[in-house]
Amino acid sequence: MKSIKWFLFLCLFPFLVQGQEKPLKQTICLIADIPLLLESDHGIISFSKTGILDISPGRIRISMAARTDAIEFEHLIQLAKPLAVMEQNSTAYTVQWNTKKYRDWTPVAGQHSSTLIDTSLGINDSLKLIWKNRSGKIVQKFTLKTKILRPAIIGFRINEYYDSIDRGHKIRVLKRKNGLPKGYQSLQSDSIQIQAGGIIELKIKSYPLLVDTLIQFRITSREDKTIPGWKSGSHLLILPELKADNNYTLELKYPNQSAVAKYHLIHQPFWHQLTWVRWTIGLSLLTTTILLTRWYYRRKWRREAAQRERLEEQLTTLQSQLNPHFIFNALSSIEGLVTIGQNKLANEYLTTFSMIMRDTLKNVDKMLISLEEDLQLMHQYLKVEQLRFGFEYEWELDPGIHPAEIEVPPMLAQPLIENAVKHGASAKGWINIEIAKKNADMLIRVTNPSSNIAIKPRTAGGYGWSLINQRLDHFRELNPDSPIEFEFSQDEKQATATLIFKNWFS
C-alpha cells in the first residue's frame, strides 16, 4: 500500500529530470498490474475498460513506468493495484502487430524505465501487448487500435458581439462540462443558420483523454472561391470574421489526418441586404430618376417651346410688318399709273394686286409654305411690276428640285425681287431668278443689271430689306441646324442677291 501512495505522489507532482528521454505530444500514465507510460505524437483518444486504447495514426511509444522517477503527464488512469516489484519482475511480455507476433516473450526484469516499443502505426493498424507470470497466467493485456478521426460539431451558440478576453474563460468552462453549456444548441445537421451580424461559437466534440482538441480548419465563401490555408483552433471555435449575406463552407480536420468534415454556415442578410428590399430600393431609385429626368426634359421642352413660340411670334410680326410695306409700295405704283392717265393698266395692276393680297393673307400665320406657292406669289408680283415698268424676267429651276415637296418661309425672296425691280429693271431692263441645288443646300439667286448707285448689302431695299435681315436672324435661332444665309455681290454689269438655305436637302 505504501508503494502505491509513493507512486501516485510521484505521478501527481511531476518535474523534469535530467537525462530523461524527450516525451512526445501527449503522455498518459496507466497504473495497472504492470504500470506503463504511453506517449503519442498525434493523440490518444480514449481507453475502454475492456483494455482497448484508440489512438490516431502516427508514432506511439510505450515504456515501463519507473516507481522511483518523476513523470510529467497529461492524464492518469488507474485500473488496478500494481503488482509487487518481485511479482512484476517475474513476468514476461510479448507484442503482436495486426495479430502477428512482433516480439517474442521478453522478461520484464531489468526494464523498469526502458522503452518496450517505439513505432508508428498506420491506418487500421493494431498493436497488442500481453504480460504473463511464470506459471503462464495472463496478468495484463491491452490493445492499441488506430482510428480515423473526423471532427464533429456537437453544438453552437450565436452571440451579438465578439469578446476575445472572454474566450479563455469559455474554454475552461467547456473543459469542465461533459454536455453542452447553457445557451448552446445541439447541432442535428451539417448546416447552421447565423442571424445577421451574429458571432458564431462552435463546440467541437472532445475525447476523454485529450487535454484539448487540436483542430485545423479553413473557411471558403460563396463570394471568394480562393482556397485558404489551414488554421489551428481548439474544441471551442469562434468565427467573428464571417460577413452577413454570404454562405460559407467550414472544413475541419485533425492534424496529419486526411478525413475532413464539412459544414455549411449560412449568414443571413441584414434587412437592407434582402433581395426584395434591394429590388424596392432599386425600383424606387429608377422611378425617381425617370421622374426627375422627365421633369427636367419637360421643363426644358417647355422653356424651349416658350422661346420658340416667342421667336415665332416675332417672326410672324415681322411678316405682318412686311405686308403693309408691300401694300404701300403697290398702292404707290397704282397711284402713279392713275396720275399719268393709264387707267386700264392701273385696273389690271389692281386686279393682280388683289390676288396677291388674298394669297398673302391666307399665309400670314404660317411659318412655312410650299416653294410652289411662294414661286406663284413671286410670279404674280413680277407680273404686276412688269405692267408698270415693262422689263423682262426669266426663271431657272433645277430639275432636281420639286417645288411642291419643299417648304420655305413665305415671301422671303420678295424683297430681293423688289430691290431688283427698283435698282436694275425699272428702265426696261431684265431680271433672272434661279432656284438651284448645291449639295445639301438650296439657292434662290436674283440677278439684275447693275445701276450707277452703289448698293450696300445691308441697306439695299430700304425698310423691306431691314425686315428680311431680322427674319433671317430669328429663323436662325429657331433652326440652328438649317439656317438661311444671305449673300450680295455687285460689279459694273450686274448685281446678284442670293438666299442660301443650308442643309435643306439633308
Give 8's pLDDT tier (boundaries 50, 70, 90): very low
Range name among 168-182, 305-319, 356-370 with the lowest pLDDT average: 305-319
Q: What CATH number labels 305-501?
A: 3.30.565.10
Beta strand extents in 205-344 (DSSP E only): 215-221, 231-233, 236-239, 246-253, 261-267
CB 429 within 8 A of CB 449: yes
Q: What does the angle CA 51 – CA 56 – CA 62 come to, to the nearest 5 degrees?
A: 55
- b/e per residue 36-60 (b: at least 16 CB within 10 A): bbbbbbbbbbebeeeeebbbbbbeb
pLDDT tens digits, 229-247: 899 888 888 888 888 888 9
- The neighbour count for residue 247, using CB atoms within 10 Å, is 14
Largest CA-CA distance found in the chain, in angstroms, rounded: 174
153-273 and 305-501, same CATH topology? no
At the topology level of CATH, where does 153-273 sit? Immunoglobulin-like (2.60.40)
Highest mean pLDDT out of 45-49, 79-83, 430-434: 430-434
Residues 6+ apart with CB under 8 A from 260: 150, 251, 252, 253
pLDDT higher than threshold 80 for residue 391: yes
Q: How far apart are CA 306 and CA 478, in angstroms?
A: 11
Q: Would you list the domain boundaries of the chain?
A: 2-146, 153-273, 305-501
For the purposes of burial, counting CB atoms within 10 Å of the CB of 265, is it exposed (0-12), middle (13-18) or buried (19 or more)?
buried
Percent of the chain topping pLDDT 90? 16
pTM metric for this prediction: 0.48
Q: pLDDT of 407-465, one tens digit each?
A: 998 888 888 888 888 777 666 688 999 999 999 999 999 998 887 555 554 444 455 56
**DSSP letter, residue 243:** P
- Per-residue confidence (pLDDT) for residue 414, from 0 to 100: 84
Cell 458581439 found at: 161
Mean pLDDT computed over 83-107: 85
pLDDT at residue 496, as a whole number: 92
Which band of pLDDT confidence, cut at 50, 70 and 90, is reported for residue 322? very low
Q: What is the mean pLDDT of residues 1-5?
A: 45
Please state, rounded to an integer, the average pLDDT across all residues of the chain. Answer: 79
Helices and strands of the chain, counted as H and E runs: 8, 27
Angle between helices 275-339 and 463-478 (to 10 degrees): 170
